[in-house]
Structure 1
Amino acid sequence: MVKNSKKDRCPRCAQGSVVTDTNTGENFCGKCGYVLNEENVESGPEWRSFSKEEGENRTRTGTPTSLAMHDMGLATIIGQADKDATGKPLSSSMRSTIERLRTWDSRSQVHEPVDRNFRQAFSELDRLKDKLAVGDAVVEKAAYIYRKALEKGLVRGRSISALIASALYAACRDTETPRTLKDIGSASNIKRKDIARCYRLLLRELGLKMPVVDPIKCVARIASKAELSEKTKREAAKILKTAEENKISAGKDPMGLAAAALYVACVTNGENKTQRDVAEAAGVTEVTIRNRYKGLKLALNL
């Protein structure tokens, strides 16, 4: 019980002060018992604490909503416990009724074709999330793009796996997460050409505006795979920053440019790494690194 300030007087007897019951949220007079209002907004945390024999137990209100779930996490599920709200066991007739309702509830969840489409697409998205090690923000963005594509009718006649993979690539580009088409193609076991075709379709039909990939964001990934030192990474970042200021990086593949900058930094710092080592870590060819290396040397006077 919480006693309110002295200014809050009972409107009926005008003598007792208003008291709030923290369990039920009722406001009532502490003298005559007159209930002012029965509902009150709960301003506390989203868990309820109650005592049991083993001690205090805290239960949360449920999982958060997510666009990456077929029902956004708002599904109604009839529990398996055959008990009513007070904890008493149900009668045999009511138990059979609840069992029949539970069966129809599970059947109705996969009745709509859209729901089946979302189930298949988002299970594939969850698998790609684990393989590519991307964050929840990227997954949410990919699910949002896929839902928009389904609303526009772009999924009809196309592969669900290819479209969800292209939506994930678009989300990686939008959030500036360094994942290439080759990475997503190998993770989803779909041809790079098919993902690129679906990606261009999403850009054209949904009007998506993608930012230019920053080559500096690719440096850490390549350096980690090639086992390069921190000094080399910082030197490569400086080279790329200078190249961007001189407008050399425009129109170049960011992964190839980052690999070439790392190779230049290796030569400058005397680190023993070949072009093949850096090319394999970046997923580009040695010819690309040689061409970008020559361009960086000429432009930056290295």
Structure 2
Amino acid sequence: HATTELNRISSNLNLPYYVKVSAIKIYKKLNKMNILKGRSINAMVAACIYYSCRKWRVNRMFKEILEETSCSEKDIRRCFHVLLNELNLKVPAVDLNSLIPKYALKLKLDRSVVNSVITLLESNKGSMFIMGKDPKGVCAGALYLICKFKNMNVNQERIAEVVGVSIVTIRSRYKEFLKNLNPELKDQISCNHPPYLAQRSGGQDKIFA
């Protein structure tokens, strides 16, 4: 059952073969250690997949994995922590830059926005106000700041919905980025003419702001 479930989720998420193999190995190791007794098989499978994605830097959000299973978020997170503790593993760092294009696509933002957000994140890499913070919240705050600078018609509510964080978190990260923003970088990422995703349709431009 576990292998079937793992194959199903891996297929639905188009995961590379090596990620699937890695998740299977972790699950089998836990099973051999009798860690799975009394725990949800599906939740542990989801936790193994999530860890493998993080380990191999394959850009799949926790929310995406959650949507592919009938388990609760609480159960999967609990299994994830069990996995880390029992196998003495550390949570692989999230590559923030790899998350931005996916969020931008859902928000219908163009490449110039993506580039500016990545520039902002790179310039603050290692900063104390980012360290230890939820990667999604950091991305959301950076996205909101850039959208404001470029006069994009994207509000906090929409970013919160797409990224999966609260509006309060977005505001906090936004204020921190703004407080630590280098004036030269501000000039670099600001834009007088807001960029759009334009698609020619029926002789008219279909504009996505």
Retained in 2: the 8 A contact 1:162–1:195? yes
Deviations 1:237-293 (A, max 9, x none): 011111214333201111111121111111222222111222222122222111110
What SS is found at the alignment partner of 2:125?
helix
Counterpart AA for 1:206: L
Match of 1:206 in 2: 87
Task: Specify the code of the residue in structure 2 equivalent to 1:163.
Answer: M
CA–CA distance in 2 between the matches of 1:287 and 1:137? 38
The CA distance in 2 between the partners of 1:176 and 1:143, in whole Å, is: 17
| Partner Cα separation in structure 2 for residue 256 and residue 141 of structure 1 | 28
2:37 matched to 1:170? no
Task: Determine helix, strand or coil for the equivalent of 1:142.
Answer: helix
What residue in structure 1 maps to residue 77 of structure 2? 196
Which stretches in structure 2 are left out of the alignment for 5+ residues?
187-209
Q: Distance in 1 between matches of 2:132 and 2:13?
A: 26
Verify the 8 A CA contact 1:239 1:261 in the aligned structure 2: yes
| Higher helix proportion | 2
Q: Report deviation, 1:228.
A: 0.5
- When normalised by structure 1's length, the TM-score is 0.57
Would the aligned equivalents of 1:181 and 1:195 in 2 still touch at CA under 8 Å? no
**Alignment-mate amino acid for residue 228 of structure 1:** L
Q: In the alignment, which residue of structure 2 is the partner of 1:124?
A: 5
Kindly indicate whether the alpha-carbon contact (under 8 Å) linking 1:173 and 1:211 is maintained by their aligned counterparts in 2: yes
Higher RCO (CA < 8 A, seq sep 6+): 2
Query: How many percent identity over aligned positions?
Result: 36
For residues 105 and 11 of structure 2, the distance between their equivalents in structure 1, rounded to whole angstroms, comes to 19
Q: Deviations over 1:25-44 (max 9, x none)?
A: xxxxxxxxxxxxxxxxxxxx
Which residue in the other structure is 1:279 paired with?
160
SS at match of 2:60: coil
Q: Distance in 2 between matches of 1:215 and 1:156?
A: 35
Amino acid at match of 1:145: I
TM-score under structure 2 normalisation?
0.81
Instruction: Render the CA deviation track for 1:151-196: whole Å, top value 9, x for unaligned.
Output: 1111222221111111111111211223333332221111111111
Paired residue for 1:232? 113
Greater than 6 Å deviation, 4+ residue runs:
none
For the aligned residue pairs, the C-alpha RMSD in angstroms reads: 1.6
Counterpart for residue 219 of structure 1: 100
